[in-house]
Amino acid sequence: MSHNTFGHLFRVTTFGESHGPAIGCVVDGCPPLLALDVADIQADLDRRRPGTSRFTTQRREPDTARILSGVMIDDSTGRQVTTGAPIAVLIDNVDQRSKDYSEIKDKFRPGHADYTYEAKYGLRDYRGGGRSSARETAARVAAGAIARKIIPAVRIRAALVQIGKLKIDRARWDWDETQRNPFFCPDAEAAARFADYLDGVRKSGSSVGAVVEVVAEGAPAGWGAPIYGKLDGELAAALMSVNAVKGVEIGDGFATAELSGEENADEMRAGADGRPQFLSNHAGGILGGISTGQTIVARFAVKPTSSILSPRRTVTRAGEDTDIVTTGRHDPCVGIRAAPVGEAMVACVLADAFLRHRGQVGG
């Protein structure tokens, strides 16, 4: 609803800038009595953390999370559980190098939010991108780790399916492989090609875009709601809100424009459990904004990092022509680290959809 909050019953508020003392989130509406340890959050943060391979920014951030509220030890089990109160998670900024910002503080970096923040607010926090830094996504990942606890039967995973013009071969899709290469790529062969390609991009000081696919298995039929609370609408908003994302699609997405009704509509047959068995999943698990019980599939496009070494034409805050080169640490492909962020956003949306569904319809 607000600018830095999303969700309805399960609500996430984030705060913090790239180079301030800390970033964090407040997660409100979490059901009580869910086992939650800081290690659960840390595991997801570690997957998003920078500096784990040569393909991500070399900023060294341990991203150590602390839970400030909303949990306590349940005396009956000795486990730490949620209490139903808001859960605040704090992540200190450690490696916010005190550097010289004189090069960028008075110039608008093309492709960045520099000009728009300045146009809106009359000033901008030029230190590391301030609030618009991708660092904010760590707070989302922390929230997503909590969201997963609410819907433990739903397995949410993301995979990088395209870097630049290179795409995976879906026939080789292997989820385990996403844990083995630094790209969250489900195709080992493609991962090798991605590495070669991205080495070239990185060395030339350039950058490239990517496509990430998020898959949620195990959500029952009935989550989501017409009309403006559609599950696909909320997924679209959540994923589009991730830094650098320029497109979102559900199921076959843009490809459905080329399909006929016969090709697109997923037929059904009676399933063993009495519920319909869909014979295909062009819909990506959502019809009329409500989950079908099939696997939910969302895909998003991440634009290339705008921080590159080639000089680019721009203007100063004073309105004069100039050039700019964005030196310093950056990701040659921000799409890579967007994979755990995408998972987190989908987890938050689904947890919220589950709680609201239970609220309106019960059980």
Residues 201-230 that bind its own copies (CB under 8 A): 201, 206-211, 220-230
Tell which positions 321-340 bind its own copies, by CB under 8 A.
321, 335
**In the complex, least distance from residue 144 CB atom to its own copies, rounded to whole angstroms:** 14
Closest to its own copies by CB, 56 vs 307, is: 307
**In the complex, least distance from residue 152 CB atom to its own copies, rounded to whole angstroms:** 14
User: Does residue 315 belong to the site contacting its own copies (CB under 8 A)?
Assistant: yes
**In the complex, least distance from residue 348 CB atom to its own copies, rounded to whole angstroms:** 10
253 in Cβ contact with 298 (< 8 Å):
no
**In the complex, least distance from residue 122 CB atom to its own copies, rounded to whole angstroms:** 5
Query: Of 68, 81, 77, 78, which is closest to residue 37 (Cα–Cα)?
Result: 81
User: Does residue 105 belong to the site contacting its own copies (CB under 8 A)?
Assistant: yes
- Rounded to whole angstroms, how far apart are CA atoms 265 and 273? 22
18 in Cβ contact with 360 (< 8 Å):
no
**In the complex, least distance from residue 356 CB atom to its own copies, rounded to whole angstroms:** 6
Closest to its own copies by CB, 176 vs 302, is: 302
User: Which residues make beta-bridge pairs with 30?
Assistant: none
- Rounded to whole angstroms, how far apart are CA atoms 299 and 38? 29
Closest to its own copies by CB, 2 vs 98, is: 2
Closest to its own copies by CB, 174 vs 200, is: 200
User: Does residue 247 belong to the site contacting its own copies (CB under 8 A)?
Assistant: yes
User: Does residue 176 belong to the site contacting its own copies (CB under 8 A)?
Assistant: no
Closest to its own copies by CB, 176 vs 273, is: 273
Tell which positions 48-77 bind its own copies, by CB under 8 A.
66, 68-70, 72, 74-75
* Pairing of β 312-315 and β 321-324: antiparallel
Query: Of 171, 172, 212, which is closest to residue 335 (Cα–Cα)?
Result: 212
User: Which residues make beta-bridge pairs with 302?
Assistant: 210, 245
The encoded tokens of residue 340 equal 């755990």
Q: Is the dihedral of CA 179, 184, 189, 194 positive or negative?
A: negative
239 in Cβ contact with 302 (< 8 Å):
no
DSSP-derived 3-state class of residue 142? helix
User: Does residue 6 belong to the site contacting its own copies (CB under 8 A)?
Assistant: yes
**In the complex, least distance from residue 53 CB atom to its own copies, rounded to whole angstroms:** 19
- Rounded to whole angstroms, how far apart are CA atoms 196 and 212? 19
User: Does residue 102 belong to the site contacting its own copies (CB under 8 A)?
Assistant: no
User: Does residue 356 belong to the site contacting its own copies (CB under 8 A)?
Assistant: yes
User: Does residue 20 belong to the site contacting its own copies (CB under 8 A)?
Assistant: yes
Tell which positions 126-155 bind its own copies, by CB under 8 A.
127, 130-132, 136
Closest to its own copies by CB, 114 vs 177, is: 114
User: Does residue 94 belong to the site contacting its own copies (CB under 8 A)?
Assistant: no
- Rounded to whole angstroms, how far apart are CA atoms 106 and 126? 9
Q: What residues contact 74, with CB distance under 8 A and at least 6 apart?
A: 33, 80, 81
- Judged by CB under 8 A, the number of residues near its own copies is 162
Closest to its own copies by CB, 92 vs 176, is: 92
Closest to its own copies by CB, 60 vs 246, is: 246
Taking each helix axis from N to C terminus, what angle separates 137-150 and 38-48, rounded to the nearest 10 degrees?
Answer: 130
DSSP-derived 3-state class of residue 138? helix
Query: Of 344, 219, 189, which is closest to residue 281 (Cα–Cα)?
Result: 219
286 in Cβ contact with 292 (< 8 Å):
yes
Which of 11, 135, 149, 202: binder of its own copies (CB under 8 A)? 11
Tell which positions 286-305 bind its own copies, by CB under 8 A.
286-293, 301-305
Which of 164, 182, 218, 328: binder of its own copies (CB under 8 A)? 164
Which of 62, 253, 295, 329: binder of its own copies (CB under 8 A)? 253
